[in-house]
Amino acid sequence: MSKQNQWIVGVNAVASSIENDADHVREVLVEAGSKNPRLQEIEENARRKGIDVRRVSAQALDGVGGQVRHQGVAARYAAAQTWAEGELPGLVEAAEGKALLLVLDGVQDPHNLGACLRSAAAAGVTAVVIPKDKSAPVNATVRKTSAGAADRIPVVAVTNLSRCLRELQKLGVWIYGLAGEADTSLYSLDLRGNVALVLGGEADGLRRLTREHCDGLVRIPMPGEIESLNVSVAAGVTLFEAVRQRQG
């Protein structure tokens, strides 16, 4: 895992980092004079875990939050930001035939990526795979939108997505890509074994090479008049069909 210092902002993201990964939280900034009880709770929890807390002005928080709404709190975080590509086989093998992977082929909006990570964490995925060069990075916006999910699940950034899919197939993972024009319905698949679900980016969907490395293309049936879903909604629908089958 590669590590780097960064600021994360927002009540849920900071509370989650303190609760789930306190060892990597270097300090917490809380807006002075705020009456928000959640901020008081975060401050108490941070101090209890030995994390430095500073009360600062809203302007100081604006400076570290950038364009992201900070909600009166920020944390300087030495995050385990992404897992190394070489760690993916071990994650699949540890799942003992029940690996569930979400592969995002070029999701470039950080809010969409964060929402996908949130759905993935709720579904208990083994890992989320993203390409290094065609994806939003796991930044402060992604962390805030994911409501802490970015700290709870392995996010693996890979150099060559097609090669990664080939390696997953060698490990016994079935790879299914979502495409609106596909003939096969998502609901006709058996999603109970080792499965990777591949979704394309906002603009172009699945890239050609990615499609060619899928074992099959499937669609989410949509009887309404809208022809496509937001990628984070599609990820949630797809992952929770796998969850439904696995609990059945």
Task: Mark the binding-site residues, compressed into ranges.
Answer: 200, 220, 229
Q: State how far the alpha carbon of 190 is from the alpha carbons of 194, 214, 239, in Å.
A: 10, 15, 13
Distance between CA atoms of residues 111 and 120, nearest Å = 14
Give the residue among 46, 6, 50, 37 at the shortest CA–CA distance from 150: 6
∠ Cα 158 154 72 (to 5°): 110
Q: Which residues pair with 205 in a beta bridge?
A: 201
Secondary structure (DSSP) of 168-224: HHHTT-EEEEE-TT-SEEGGGS--SSSEEEEEEBTTTBS-HHHHHT-SEEEE----S
Binding residue ranges for S-adenosyl-L-methionine: 200, 220, 229
Gyration radius (Cα) of the chain, Å: 19
Residue whose entry in the numeric block shows the structure tokens 């900034």 = 29
Which of helix, strand or coil describes residue 235? helix
Element (H, E) at 5: strand 2-9
